[in-house]
Chain A
Amino acid sequence: MASSDRPSGLTALAVINFIFGTLEFLGGIGFIVIRFVAGKMLSNGHEMSAKEREGLQVIVDSSWINVGIVVALAFATGLLLLLSGIGYLKQKRVLGRWFGNGYGIVAITYVTVSLTLLPEELTEGFSIGVIRSLIYPCFTMVLLNSTFRRDLAR
């Protein structure tokens, strides 16, 4: 199949995947940085209000294992986004369709797990932002299994 047979929707999906994939990696690194900086700020005795101190303490009290699990899921989501993006461009069945669906499932798991394991100070709790982060995985799965099902067959 020539590359010109690729629907432009798949190309757009791939570009969005690359952007969101990079953001997922940055988000994962952000969790580590916030956890680390919060600890440093508390131990260095920075001037802050009692409410801010309480918020930072909650972040510091969250276990490194929980943070590690969430960061691993963020990286997995980012990696799947990047790989499936390449799959869309090459119109591959496994790299595109399977990895794309895999991304959808891992992304939903990532949102659920981060809400469960991390304190609200780190995730903002269940908000419209959470629904927003579920939109793209769901949208991707719907498109891959309907509109672009026959285009990812190589």
Chain B
Amino acid sequence: MNWTHVRLIATSSIPQTLRSGTGVVYAVFTLIFGLHSANLIVRQVETLGATRFTGWVETALNFLLASVTLQGKTTELPELEKFGGLDNIHAWAEYLLREQPALLSAVFILQALLVPLFVSSGAFNQLAGDLQHGAVRYQLLSTSRSSLFFGRFLGMAVFTAALIVALTSVLVLFVGSQLDLYEWGDLIAWGVHCTFALICISLPYVAFCSWISAVVNSPFSALIFTGLIIPAQPFLAIGAMNAWEPLGKLIYLMPWGVQFWLFHPDPAKVVFAALGCLAYTALFLFLGLYFFRKRDL
């Protein structure tokens, strides 16, 4: 693999992404729906008031965090809660809502749920389109398969990171300048942390899209695969856990079970989660490259 080629391919793939329909839709979809979902949460603060809003978000967060960290069957969670089995989750939610700016925490946890969906709808066409039209064969006259694969991944990862930074910057600036609820220092510190977390979350999904895109011959099929597998996987795992508890571990087939630890109060767990996301990225890239090298073009 030639790193100069990787850099050149990554750099040229960003404007190429924008010229392609998927890049335009990805950017518009991510920014508009990201802001729309944030707006729904901010509206809840105005409708419910700060105290009721915090209570409402706390209930939702407890359920979400308990489900993705496999504390128990979803049907048994209320009982677990009654006997103090979810105290660690309560402490986590308390940290997000009392020690950090609650509104930003709520918005960014929602974005953590949405980022994989945005990625699945925007990053699916890294190689599939070129494979369909046979353009890859011409590109491989001047570079290697691994350079092309990593270059496209890197370009898409940087494009996705830029979208996330744009989205989180707008949100932090809006909450800081319009709502007058939190100190600027707290907002910026938590905003930077959450931006880093969202970028970490996006990487394995971009890598997963690279893998699918490298093995499927049509962008539409790649979209169907990524658009179905990524959002459906946690529901399937949690549903399967309700039938037989060990099946809940299926959630670790993708980063869903790891990614929310990036918002944990314990820095060691945050680092562990970030490393987990990078490990998933490496695994998906390895699988993608393996199949891309083996495939008949």
Which A positions have Cβ atoms within 8 angstroms of B? 7-9, 11-13, 16, 124, 126-129, 131-132, 135-136, 139, 143, 147-148
- Chain B residue nearest to A16 (CB atoms) is B28
Asked whether B170 lies within 8 Å of A131 as measured between CB atoms, the reply is yes
User: Chain B: which residue is nearest A142 at the CB level?
Assistant: B18
Those of B162-179 within 8 Å (CB) of chain A: 170-171, 174, 178
Q: Per-residue 0/1 for B18-60: is the Cβ within 8 Å of any A Cβ (1 yes, 0 no)?
A: 1111111101100110011011001100000000000000000
Contact B15–A147 (Cβ < 8 Å): yes
Complex: chain B residue closest to A8, CB-CB: B21
A8 CA / B28 CA spacing, docked (Å): 15
Interface residues of B (CB under 8 A from A): 15, 18-25, 27-28, 31-32, 35-36, 38-39, 42-43, 170-171, 174, 178
Closest chain A residue to B33, Cβ basis:
A132
* A135 CA / B27 CA spacing, docked (Å): 10
Chain A to chain B: the 4 pairs with minimum beta-carbon distance, closest first: A12-B21, A8-B21, A128-B39, A132-B35
B32 near A136: Cβ-Cβ < 8 Å: yes
A-B contact pairs, 13 of them (CB 8 A): A9-B23, A16-B28, A127-B39, A127-B178, A128-B36, A128-B174, A129-B36, A129-B39, A131-B35, A131-B170, A132-B35, A136-B28, A148-B19
The total number of A-B Cβ pairs within 8 Å is 61
Please tell me which one of the listed residues B19, B22, B27, B171 contacts residue A128 in the complex, with CB atoms under 8 A apart.
B171
The binding surface of chain B is classed by DSSP as: helix
Choose from A7, A12, A13, A139 the contact partner of B31 (Cβ within 8 Å). A139
Residues in chain B near residue A7, CB distance under 8 A: 19-20
Q: How far is the CA of A143 from the CA of B24 in the complex (A)?
A: 9
What residues on A are CB-neighbors of B174 within 8 Å? 128, 131
Kindly list chain B residues whose C-beta atoms are within 8 Å of the C-beta of A132: 31-32, 35-36, 39
Distance, CA A139 to CA B27, complexed state (A): 9
A147 to B171, CA, bound (A): 27
Knowing A9-B18, A9-B19, A12-B21, the reply to whether A139 touches B28 (Cβ < 8 A) is yes
- B21, B24, B38: which has the most chain A beta carbons within 10 Å? B24
